[in-house]
Amino acid sequence: MSHQPQRLLVTGAAGFIGSNFVHYWLKENPESRVIALDALTYAGNRANLDSVEAHPNFNFVHADILETDRIEQLLREERIDTLVHFAAESHVDRSIHGPDAFLKTNIEGTHSLLKAAKKVWLDDKKIPHRFHHVSTDEVYGTLEPEAPAFTEEHQYQPNSPYAASKAASDHIVRSYHHTYGLNTTISNCSNNYGPYHFPEKLIPLIIVNCLEGKPLPIYGDGKQIRDWLYVEDHCRGIDLILNKGRVGEVYNIGGNNEWANIDIVTLVCELMDQHHPEGAPHKSLITHVTDRLGHDRRYAIDATKISKELGYKPEETFETGIRKTVQWYIDHESWWCRVMGGSYRSLLKQNYNN
């Protein structure tokens, strides 16, 4: 069932992936209408959308996805035909220390959006629509070193409060399709990296700490393996799902690019030695800290389904993508300096100061 998105509501639009999606979508589809909604919590930064503020088809709305009535109003007033749901609490460390916010935002918030969409798109009047839910590979649990990568058929086995909250939201989205007939799709992606990434996550944290000459904290032995995906390639995959994905289906979006954390850090240090030589050798800043509770050892995405059905293929190699990312943080010091306030410093102390 093909779909042609014309008027989009993007939740979590001032966050990392959400803002990149808004940039990508308006570049590729300048005639589309995009309503960017964000509650502007710690990881939501209005400045992430500065470059599209003047676009005639863009509008920002400061609201929470738990405000069901407000969402209904927006769907009606803006005649939204496509909802792309990025909004989520997304950092595993934060979920370990404070899971309540994750259950509220990721589960109750997703349900709030589904209720509003059902009311406007199905109950009041049958309207062509698509509700796309952006999820994570962490819902599948962890993989042994030689195990095959996660497919869409893999059993859900979440191991952190964050992953469990995303797994629950996936199931709720699925239920609204099978029970009520809401036109939904779900994507589970591997680790993203690129511009506007809040520096609590590995790659931006390492880059920023290199620039500031601070220790580079590595959990445990650093041999946890992740599949890394450049954020614009993720946006490209969602674009394909919105336009050509089968209703009710789940699609894994991956980078075919597995790296151990310690190898990622070493590579970033080598790039920083080239781009920021006054701090070289940055590898000397590596510091091993106590491992995260319940730390999954390996994630890997099998993206065969989206590749075969929709023609998806990442355009960035890791070598090109990581160089672009390092250069972006060097060129945008004012951005990352603004977002690293008191709560951010407290987070780092809570997780890495041991």
Residue 31: active-site member? no
Residue 69: active-site member? no
Phi-psi region of 22 (alpha: psi -120 to 50; beta: other; left: phi over 0): alpha
Contact by Cβ (8 Å): 224, 260:
yes
CA distances from 104 to 131, 170, 235, 264 (A): 20, 14, 26, 33
Residue 30, burial from CB neighbour count under 10 angstroms (0-12, 13-18, 19+)? exposed
User: Residues 162, 193, 299, 329: which is the catalytic one?
Assistant: 162
Phi-psi region of 208 (alpha: psi -120 to 50; beta: other; left: phi over 0): alpha
Task: Identify the residue whose tokens are 């990352």.
Answer: 336
Find how far residue 71's CA is from the centre of its chain. Answer: 21
Residue 38: active-site member? no
Pairing state between β 33-38 and 7-11: parallel
User: Residues 81, 89, 93, 138: which is the catalytic one?
Assistant: 138
Q: Tell me how long the chain is.
A: 354
User: Residues 137, 170, 200, 227: which is the catalytic one?
Assistant: 137
Q: Distance between the two ends of the chain, CA-based, in angstroms?
A: 53
List the catalytic residues: 137-138, 162
